[in-house]
Structure 1
Amino acid sequence: MRLIASALATLAFAGTASFAQGQTLKVTYDLSLAGLPLGKADLISSFKGKKYEMKGNAKLTGLAMLLTGGKGEASAAGTLAEAKPRSTSFEVVSKASENQRSVRMGLKGGRVAEVEIDPPLEPKEDRIPVKAADKRGVVDPMSALLMPALASKSLTDPDNCNRTIPVFDGASRMDVVLTYAETKNVEVTGYSGPVLVCNARYVPVSGHRPERPATKFMQENRDMAVWLAPVEGPRLLFPLKVSVRTMIGMGEMQASLWSLEGDGKASTRTRRAVRADEAIKAGTLQ
């Protein structure tokens, strides 16, 4: 489940608009699994010049909450580079029933400088060792959601889909490989316009256990996708929706509310709430 949760976290975010200095993007996601509602996630991203800060929290509701008590909080910070974000810090705390685990990570120049996991992962003989080289040129799972557009292309150019995101979550190194599928128009609260629909692939590099059924499933998974919406100011793309097929059904993070605030004023752009599912036929994502 940690593998699936990491993949979801790596591929999820939403929003689009023109950014000025000192603006904040707030997004609420509906979480579901196999068509059943699981809970909600709230994500806040603040931008000032090239610097960014991200904070998020998720909480399961209903039966899922009663069975697992699951909830989590995460944060990240860094600067925006031309090719990809340059993380400086990342922290996540996840709670399920009576168990809790925290991960804190510091990065410098795209290199992991320090990692603290509490409690530590149990040593496993079949776990692929993480090499020093695997911790260079990476981004944390939250910062990976910020996708700078190609300098020579428009924000909605299909080539913006085609990228490989090198992610390190504190314990494992993976690549998320995106490829263009199609362009669609969507309407959700706070945004109406085109999105790039990108197919996604999970490619483990190290820190994983290759013989685990969940690892093999995700490696062979061809039912994953992310929908990216354009952000004019910093020329970024954000996922509007993430879909990942798990071993027990399709998992989705669907933006239901979006707002942009800047210079002390709330965004005046509001629209009737319409789920993207109503505007877009189901894409490919796991």
Structure 2
Amino acid sequence: MIVRPALVPIAALTALCWTPGAGGDGAPVPHGETLRLTATYSTSVLVFQVGRIDVTAEVAGGRYAADAHVEAAGLAALFTDFEIDSEVEGRLDGLAPRPDRYGHVERTGNKVRTVEVGFGTGVAQPSAEPPFSSWGEPPASEADRTGTIDPMTAVLFLSQSLAEAQGEPCTGSLPVFDGKQRYNLNLTARGTEEIRTRGWRGEALVCDAYYEPISGYDPEDWPEPGETSHPLRLWIAPVGDGAAFIPVRAHTRAGFGGVTIEAREITLG
């Protein structure tokens, strides 16, 4: 799965970020109770819709799971047949999310590839079918894959940092491995801002995530320095009296015209 900076919003938002809280106090969901979220996002370049993202996420009994479907839509659907289905399962170590497994299926035209990653040993173990012709130059080493998380859990980590009362939200670096490529998301807080989308309106926390490629990239996939200088800006909003923190907008100037993702519908159950 190629994750160039212009596509980072899609990679990040395939994980609807939610905090494992039952209410505004941020307390863990009581055993036997379930917090479930569904959301739909639209992706646009300039004024043209080019994609759609549908996400479901659930936390219950010290476990979390999420799945997402990304597909070309609008103008882009006239020129490409592209979709990704991704999913993650993991556990809550205290309130910190730890993935057990992550996987995605990428379809481009008649080509289909399934990628699976196990995290149970502390070192991400990837597999792909059909196999990649190259694991990158250089490939992600065992040291690179140690202590990493998947792209979906990365946004959950960010959400949890926003829910916690202690510490500065949206700071530090998240080590991400997507099954081939290893990169960091380096976080910077940008305060708050009033925004409005079709699915949500109000004051949102603003967070910049800078994309830092590490390993696992083929030569033609290494981002140009100018591309990585533009962050992914996330607007993350509390819903359900603070039971969840959800990205309601994302934007990056990387790529032609930049990419914007906005929430169209959000349901908290």
Give deviations 1:3-32, integer Å, cap 9, x for gaps.
Answer: 227622443255779634212100100111
Normalising by structure 2, report the TM-score: 0.82
Deviation at 1:97, TM superposition (A): 1.5
Letter in 2 for 1:95: R
Counterpart CA distance in 1 for 2:97 and 2:119 is: 12
What's the secondary structure of 2:44's corresponding residue? strand
Counterpart CA distance in 1 for 2:187 and 2:56 is: 24
Deviation at 1:75, TM superposition (A): 0.6
Q: Percent identity?
A: 26
Which residue of structure 2 lines up, in the alignment, with residue 251 of structure 1?
259
Letter in 2 for 1:67: F
Deviation at 1:119, TM superposition (A): 2.1
Counterpart CA distance in 2 for 1:252 and 1:197 is: 14
CA contact (8 A) 1:3 1:214 kept: no
Deviation at 1:213, TM superposition (A): 6.9
Which residue of structure 2 lines up, in the alignment, with residue 271 of structure 1?
none
CA contact (8 A) 1:204 1:219 kept: no
1:31 to 43, 56, 66: 43
Deviation at 1:201, TM superposition (A): 0.7
Letter in 2 for 1:134: D
CA contact (8 A) 1:26 1:44 kept: yes
Counterpart CA distance in 2 for 1:22 and 1:162 is: 29
CA contact (8 A) 1:45 1:55 kept: yes
Letter in 2 for 1:2: I
Structure 1 residue runs of 5 or longer lacking an equivalent are 262-286
| 1:160 counterpart = 2:169 | yes
| 1:8 counterpart = 2:9 | yes
1:119 to 111, 126, 130: 130
| 1:92 counterpart = 2:92 | no
Letter in 1 for 2:151: P
When residues 167 and 116 of structure 1 are mapped into structure 2, their CA distance, relative to the original with a 3 A threshold, is same
What's the secondary structure of 1:111's corresponding residue? coil
1:46 to 37, 51, 58: 58
When residues 219 and 32 of structure 1 are mapped into structure 2, their CA distance, relative to the original with a 3 A threshold, is closer
Which residue of structure 2 lines up, in the alignment, with residue 142 of structure 1?
152
CA contact (8 A) 2:200 2:248 kept: no
Deviation at 1:150, TM superposition (A): 6.5
The correspondence of residues 1-286 of structure 1 with structure 2, limited to 5 A, is 2-4=2-4, 7-12=8-13, 13-14=15-16, 19=22, 20=29, 21-81=33-93, 84-108=96-120, 110-112=122-124, 114-123=125-134, 127-146=137-156, 147=158, 148-149=160-161, 153=165, 159-188=168-197, 191-209=200-218, 212=220, 215-217=223-225, 220-230=228-238, 237-261=245-269
Counterpart CA distance in 2 for 1:190 and 1:62 is: 19
Q: CA RMSD in A?
A: 3.0
What's the secondary structure of 2:224's corresponding residue? helix
- How many pairs were matched up? 255
Counterpart CA distance in 1 for 2:211 and 2:99 is: 21
CA contact (8 A) 1:110 1:139 kept: no
Deviation at 1:216, TM superposition (A): 1.7
Deviation at 1:215, TM superposition (A): 1.2
Counterpart CA distance in 1 for 2:113 and 2:260 is: 23
Normalising by structure 1, report the TM-score: 0.77
Deviation at 1:153, TM superposition (A): 2.5
When residues 202 and 38 of structure 1 are mapped into structure 2, their CA distance, relative to the original with a 3 A threshold, is same
Deviation at 1:219, TM superposition (A): 5.5
Give deviations 1:207-251, integer Å, cap 9, x for gaps.
Answer: 124x54751246632243112223689976432222123332211
Deviation at 1:99, TM superposition (A): 1.8
When residues 16 and 232 of structure 1 are mapped into structure 2, their CA distance, relative to the original with a 3 A threshold, is farther
Structure 2 residue runs of 5 or longer lacking an equivalent are 23-28
Counterpart CA distance in 1 for 2:262 and 2:80 is: 21
What's the secondary structure of 2:143's corresponding residue? helix
